[in-house]
Structure 1
Amino acid sequence: MSDPSRDIRVGDAERQQALQVLGEHMSAGRIDVEEYGERSARITTAKTRGELMSLFHDLPDPRPTFATPMALFPEPSRAPARRWEGAVIPVVGVAVVIAFFVLVKNPLIFLLIPAVAILWGQWNGRRR
């Protein structure tokens, strides 16, 4: 069974790192200038991690390293909720129901409720 991480596409940063590592191998005398030219040409056209790693199969460390897929998209940190924030939604809900029965004579006033909710959300989100 093949390693699924070998199919992950690489970008310019990964190719650049592979070229740097290949240069270290040339400096150490493990490959000559001609082989460096051949491998570096293949590095610049590599599309996946597997293609890059196949160019280092016969070389010892160092080898190119890749970030794990989860590290590319870290989960945003969650700020602890304040105690009063849990009570805001029920209070706003009750206020909307009361406003509905009180202001039913003029339905255009209900446009204020979503406007206030949107402004509250924007203001509350900006503070975090």
Structure 2
Amino acid sequence: MTEVPSPQLRISDQTRESALSALGEHMTAGRIDIDEYGERSARITAAKTRGELGEIFADLPTPHPQYEDVPRAVATPEPAQEAAPVPKRPGSPENWSPPQRFLAAILPLAWIAAIALIATGTLAWPIIFVPIGLTVFGKSMWGHDWHHDDHHHGRRDRHLRDRERRRELRESYRRELGR
């Protein structure tokens, strides 16, 4: 019989990252919308214990966050699946989520329709703000995934190095306070 850890146990940054990843999967699957994702991700970032994290996922099926001290098979049993092939590039279209694919399909059509409607005189020129707005929305949501320039691929590595540096600074500050 496996002992259930106390909900009062504090969680780590790795657990929070796991929770954010699981929450992203729920949004991709359509179980929660973008507003609820924002609200829950803020709660995940502020969570300090397993109990607080558990409340956020109480109404959602698996996946749930993974804890360091609990093996993955025990934490969330999942059916065996074939390993997905490793993608060639992180931002390639075959890795896009369904909303990204939809926007990538509709965006050129919106530009063509707006230009045609303006050229024929059917609608006034402000209709051009529709495809501009769609473009800005897509860029703000998935901007780094829509570029295939090599300098964008280093963004994640820089982020991870910066986060590790902040973690080291935070730990040294805590050690200084403990003296």
TM-score, structure 1 normalization: 0.49
TM-score, structure 2 normalization: 0.36
**More RCO (CA 8 Å, sep 6+):** 1
